[in-house]
Structure 1
Amino acid sequence: MNTETAETIETARPSVRRKRPAAKTAERKPAKTAREDGRLKSTLLLPVDVDFLLTTLAASQNLDRSQFAAKLLDQGMRNYAMYEALRPFIPSVRAKSAAQATPVIGGDPTD
């Protein structure tokens, strides 16, 4: 490097930094909240043929797609052994079982 270039670099004014606007915060989707009827909105990606069958079979039973899909999923999940273990944690099952609970025979009625 020659001396002329070195002097130019040393005496050059530092570049003025431009102020950037603050970054916009990313809009987050709200947490899943239950609707008034107790349902949650979920998205499923289905193959075209499954979508067609779901639509057609739901219409044949006079149900909307959501009701029919929920019915199919509920019936299908009952086939898994883990369903019985998870059953006490399902809100709708918990409410039904509490309403149908029978007192313990020989138990203290003041309990």
Structure 2
Amino acid sequence: MKYLEWLNISGAWLVSIALWVLLIAVVAILARSWESVRNFTSEVKSELRKASWPWDPKEKGMKKYRELTDSTIVVTIAMLLLSGYVAGWDFIFNMIMAWIFGVPQK
């Protein structure tokens, strides 16, 4: 039985057997659906080639990513404003609920 010890990956044989069965099942499922995985991957690559990326291929250095940088800054500022808006209303409603239910403020 010494030669089978490498199969015992968890210390307990029952858990090891369950893990090996799970591993074999995952490999079998992947092998069975490998063609569809390859097709999906090739379709994703094809669609990514068609995409319009937010940079100018004619520019060099960081100027190439000017549109990407500007868009990132706009999104970051919008998220900060939105989170401030939500936090403000949360604070106001918290104060109103505390006043209604008589909960002491911290």
Per the shorter chain, which TM-score range?
under 0.3
* Bigger RCO of structures 1 and 2 (CA < 8 A, at least 6 apart): 2
So what's the TM-score if we normalise by structure 1? 0.23
Structure in which a larger fraction of residues adopt helix: 2
Larger radius of gyration: 1
